[in-house]
Amino acid sequence: MGDIWNGIKQAFNLIIHFDPYVMRIALFTLYICAVATLAGTVVGIPLGTWLGLYRFKGRKIFVILVNAGMGLPPVVVGLFVFLFLKRQGPFGFLSWLYTPAAIFVAEVILAMPLIAGITMAALQDVDPKLRWQSLSLGASPFKSILTLLRESRLSLMAAVMAGFGAIISEVGAAMMVGGNLMLGQVPYTRTLTTSTVLAVSSGDSTLAIALGIILLTLTVLIIIPMTLIQQHARGKTTWLRGLKASLWFRRFEGA
Amino acid sequence: MRVAPAVETPVAIRIEGLKHAYQGHTVLEIDALDVREGEVLALIGPNGAGKSTLLRLINLLERPGQGDITYWDGSHLANLSRKQRRLLGLQMAMVFQDALLFKRTVRANISYGLRVRGMGRKERKGQIDEMLDLLGLGELADRDALSLSGGEAQKVSLGRALVLKPRILLMDEPFASLDYPSRMAMRNEIMGIIKEMGVTALYVTHDHHEVLEMADRIAVLHEGRIQQVGTPGDIFNSPVNETVASFIGVETILEGRAVHCKEGLTCARVNGVDVQVLAEARTGEKLKLVIHPEEVLILRDSAEAGSARNRFKARITGMAVLGPLVKVTLDCGFRLVSYITRTSLSEMGLDVGDEVTAAFKATAVHVIRH
């Protein structure tokens, strides 16, 4: 018990004093997860929209793939990315294995189906007449889709956050394809999760606890706004309204 | 002899040979239908008659399997360019049975159509304020649209379409989801605005009372086909067939045979009872007689019947309250239905089983031939 308490105290010391090793890893993790989430969103939202709104031959296969993708075990994703990227693999010529690019690929594969799947479900939940209504009021087909996306903006936000949450806490794939490497003092493919695994296995529980606290804090920081947005969906809080209004869509609709 | 209409009104939409099917099942088959500029044309018919489908086809939300629609500018649906489609679409607006408001404020909802047309903020504001005032929605402008009551929401939905000053307004049972008093108030208000704006309106409903009051013309649809098109008077007084008659609320359709005919007055025998009808008929001809419930009087004393040629001893077999009216079912050798006001019901102290006199004029009977 004393060990843990000591560990926590020292861990806070590391955090409060901006220990360079811990901070660099935290920043690198945030950076790679943000970029991967962004890529997953750019692909996932249009894919989810397409599957949610259009009926075509072979759609079911895509839907099954996306739904299955939402529950992919990270270790299996890591394994496949590893097999494709290793020197003798089909994409070995890229020399991406044990680079941040490999982690990026694995994380996009993990986040994208989540984002696409939640987007698809959200759009299927919107009354199909709402699309007719917006077209009938003069919206172009593209604008009518933006209107529907805006109508389900809370779900879309949840989708993006779910994607981000899934990859920031993921360890198996990042370890397998990134390799948990440092370039001198700078983390090259070392993330919060992989460095925690390393710290534990090398007996540095203080460091492990510090990294764990940071990871936990980041995760909570993501969950807090998500919960607030959902709970205040019909509320009157003005700053949340501003967030909800998601000016982004408005600009495109009005264009 | 064909009687030419007094004033030739230009046609806004002409429908020819339109046929539409879902999964091999034909839902709409219209040989010809014109919508005239500035008129309110009501489409009535039972559920699944194809009314909503027709609105969607006109509004270019779906493409018909076959046939053509000619729009006011002479363009044909069959060969519209993408640009023409869009331009036509911008001059039409549709209102659905559900308000289908967006998760935004009332103001933002009404602003939607103007915004997607690229109208500037200032210009928009003027028109939105005007519409909010017109509908008395000013105080709700900044409310979340999803927090409105059913009536308010439907009003916003109508305002959202009307603010576009559409050439053609398509309404798919816009008042059906409202309760009786708000429906009455709202349809008078909205129809007033539509008439004032001179909008051509196509209006789906299955409330035949509503239609008789609001529409310039009525088209009756049944199983995807037009049964009859005409003024409310035409339809109400001379339904072309039983389907139309039963749909517009005629409760009594009697089958009989002409016994004799003299000077335009026919005596038809129904279940052994003679009914006087103002119509020509050959002796022995089979006739269907339509009697509107509003035309049937119930009397305690047969002497009060006045000029009514038809009077029968009758027994009251049933009563049901229909809003301000009471529907009384009578047995006078055949089944007869009468609508009387609640006031006269209580004044006369009628009850089921009472013996009364039922009376109606020979002119009140409409004949359908086969």
**CATH number of the domain enclosing A98:** 1.10.3720.10
Reduced to 3 states, what is the DSSP secondary structure of residue A82? helix
- The verdict on A3 touching B (C-beta cutoff 8 Å) is no
Q: Which residues of B touch A139 (CB under 8 A)?
A: 112, 116
pLDDT: is B35 or B262 the higher one?
B35
Structure confidence by residue, pLDDT tens digits, B95-110:
999 999 999 999 999 9
The chain-wide mean pLDDT, for chain A, equals: 87
**Amino acid B343: pLDDT:** 87
DSSP state of B146: G
Reduced to 3 states, what is the DSSP secondary structure of residue B14? strand
Nearest chain A residue to B115 by CA: give it: A254
Residue B94 to residue A129, Cβ atoms within 8 A: no
Strand B200-205 and strand B168-172: the pairing is parallel
Residue A136 to residue B118, Cβ atoms within 8 A: no
Interface probe, candidates A130, A132, A136, chain B, greatest B C-beta count within 10 A: A136
| pLDDT, mean of residues B24-41 | 93
A233: containing domain: 2-254
Flag whether pLDDT at A243 surpasses 70.
no
d(CA A83, CA A79) in angstroms, rounded, equals: 6
Structure confidence by residue, pLDDT tens digits, B63-79:
999 999 999 999 999 88
Residue B118 to residue A254, Cβ atoms within 8 A: yes
**What's domain B252-368's architecture?**
Beta Barrel (2.40)
d(CA B58, CA B35) in angstroms, rounded, equals: 11
Nearest chain B residue to A153 by CA: give it: B103
d(CA A128, CA B68) in angstroms, rounded, equals: 26
- The verdict on A130 touching B (C-beta cutoff 8 Å) is yes
> Where, residue-wise, is CATH 3.40.50.300 in chain B?
11-247
Nearest chain A residue to B98 by CA: give it: A129
Q: What backbone phi and psi angles, to 5 degrees, belong to A19?
A: -50, 120
DSSP states along A130-161: HHHHHHHTT--HHHHHHHHHHHTHHHHHHHHH
**How far apart are the CA of B181 and the nearest CA of chain A, in angstroms?**
27
Structure confidence by residue, pLDDT tens digits, A168-214:
999 999 999 999 999 988 899 999 999 999 999 999 988 999 899 99
pLDDT-derived band at B239 (thresholds 50, 70, 90) equals confident
pLDDT: is A226 or B272 the higher one?
B272
Instruction: For residue B286, give Cα distances in angstroms to B117, B268, B312.
Output: 60, 9, 22
Nearest chain B residue to A154 by CA: give it: B103
pLDDT-derived band at A119 (thresholds 50, 70, 90) equals very high
**Amino acid B21: pLDDT:** 92
Could you tell me what percent of chain B has a pLDDT over 90? 47
> Where, residue-wise, is CATH 2.40.50.100 in chain B?
252-368
The 3-state secondary structure of B267-289 reads: EEEECCEEEEEECCCCCCCEEEE
**Amino acid B8: pLDDT:** 67
Reduced to 3 states, what is the DSSP secondary structure of residue A116? helix
Residue A137 to residue B93, Cβ atoms within 8 A: yes
pLDDT-derived band at A46 (thresholds 50, 70, 90) equals very high
Nearest chain B residue to A134 by CA: give it: B113
d(CA B95, CA B211) in angstroms, rounded, equals: 17
Instruction: For residue A189, give Cα distances in angstroms to A197, A204, A208, B288.
Output: 14, 20, 17, 89
Reduced to 3 states, what is the DSSP secondary structure of residue A128? helix
Q: How many domains does chain A have?
A: 1
| pLDDT, mean of residues B133-162 | 93
Q: Which residues of B touch A147 (CB under 8 A)?
A: 102, 112
**Amino acid A57: pLDDT:** 93
Give the gyration radius of chain A's Cα atoms: 21
Q: Which residues of B touch A151 (CB under 8 A)?
A: 102-103
Residue B117 to residue A127, Cβ atoms within 8 A: no
Structure confidence by residue, pLDDT tens digits, B178-202:
887 788 888 888 888 998 999 999 9
Q: Which of B210, B224, B109 is nearest to B163 (CA)?
A: B109
Instruction: Report residue A84 as tokens.
Output: 């494709």
Nearest chain B residue to A235 by CA: give it: B144
CB pairs under 8 A between A and B: 62
pLDDT-derived band at B1 (thresholds 50, 70, 90) equals very low
ipTM (interface predicted TM): 0.79
| pLDDT, mean of residues B227-235 | 86
pLDDT-derived band at B28 (thresholds 50, 70, 90) equals very high
Q: Which residues of B touch A253 (CB under 8 A)?
A: 115-116
Residue A130 to residue B100, Cβ atoms within 8 A: yes
d(CA A236, CA B223) in angstroms, rounded, equals: 49
* B11-247 topology per CATH: Rossmann fold (3.40.50)
